[in-house]
Structure 1
Amino acid sequence: MHSRDLIEQYKSYVQDWRRYFHKHPELSNEEFETTKTLAKELEAMGVEVQVDTDRGTGLIGVIRGDKTGKAIALRADIDALPVQEHNTFDFKSDVDGKMHACGHDGHMAILLGAAKMLMSMKDRIEGTVYLAFQPAEETGAGAPGFIKFGDWYEKIDAIFGGHVWIDLPAGFISVEEGPRMAASSIFNIKVTGKQGHGAQPHQAVDAVVVASAIVLNLQTVVSRNVSALDSVVVTIGNIHSGT
């Protein structure tokens, strides 16, 4: 069977799972039920499953082809965000204050669909395919522990981490040689001022003004410290001051 036929065959399967995961979001390092659901579905297909029992979140599915060859991994992230959903469709989030706002519901569904397709052509696979369902992507903390879980990471020759992309027309796939997406790092800055009266700011050290200056000047990291040919983003996501 041609891969196009398989895509059409499992189209509704992927859509149904995407909607299921969208209704049942779990935050980073809390993806316990999501992990159980994924494991159960993969096992029902006949896929070998290895769950990270130390953390209770994240798992690896293993599809061993009938022919010898190299090993690759296909990776999907599984965590949601602390975002309140205000949509009205029937598969909107059932959990207050949590939703799949970054497409991880789709990523999981797509990888389950890929597993279905691969299992249906297992006799044609030369090598091994690892299905990596990674927790805690949103916090930037999930990958370091996940690649140390089991020995799958040492065995693979390549890994493909797909991501839906809103700027790409539906039906298109974008692939480039070399690194594709940037790594993320998180930083915190604490500014300690000196209290005073709002009418006498000259007698205080205004932490709000200092922090605001830091936010503005940090943008020169991009414009004056990095080559214009490189892509770098510095974002201040939260700022809090006072009571």
Structure 2
Amino acid sequence: MSTIAPPASRRTGGTDVLRELAQVLGAFLLYNVGRMLAAQELGRADAHGQDIVDAERWLRLPAEASVQAWALGHGWLIDLANRYYVSIHFPLTIAVLVWLYRYRRPAYHWAKRALLAATGVALVFHVLVPVTPPRLLSSLGMVDTGHAGGVSIYQAPVLGSMSNEYAAMPSLHVGWALLLAVVLISACRSRWRWLWVLHPLATLFVVVSTANHYWLDGLAGSTLVVAALWLTRARRT
């Protein structure tokens, strides 16, 4: 009985997919381990969190507590926000990267380079400048909605032990969401592609209403990603 070996191109293609997936997953694992190992100086983290609150008040941004109070008045909305926070961020990012790799290869390489660059810079900031999130800053009196609803990633046996809760600034939830929107709008031609704008907007509302991030965290994450996209676009292949 003879066997027919798969074409070399197919074997190579499978190896390429595994290599690319390993790079992204490895970077994500390194990012979380780095956050876990970061020194959690609670005094400094609280002070930095309060500095952000003071800056937002000076800028006359809406108080995060008022946004959360409105969301808490709609039980279904805060439940949806909790689940969006824990279930959409990483799985959707991986799904989009896989789709881009399969159907929009140049856009995939652009997205991957920008994502790795932005995430690396964010990790350095998280390690050097700990920031207490709104849900843990007692002066704000906000509710930890994820913990209250039983859907917090910090309660999970594995992810919880790998997470640094004092890494609010910048927000990569918002940053990654914006990255996906920009790359997909750029790579696709359908008129429906503009609906991807809703993803970073929804993510910003989610992270604020669940008290995981401040407005300025989202702005910082967005600025970081825009810079990474701009710097890596020139080498897009």
Structure 2 length-normalised TM = 0.24
Larger Rg: 1
- Which one has the bigger strand percentage? 1
Structure 1 length-normalised TM = 0.23
- Which structure carries more relative contact order (alpha carbon 8 Å, separation 6+)? 2
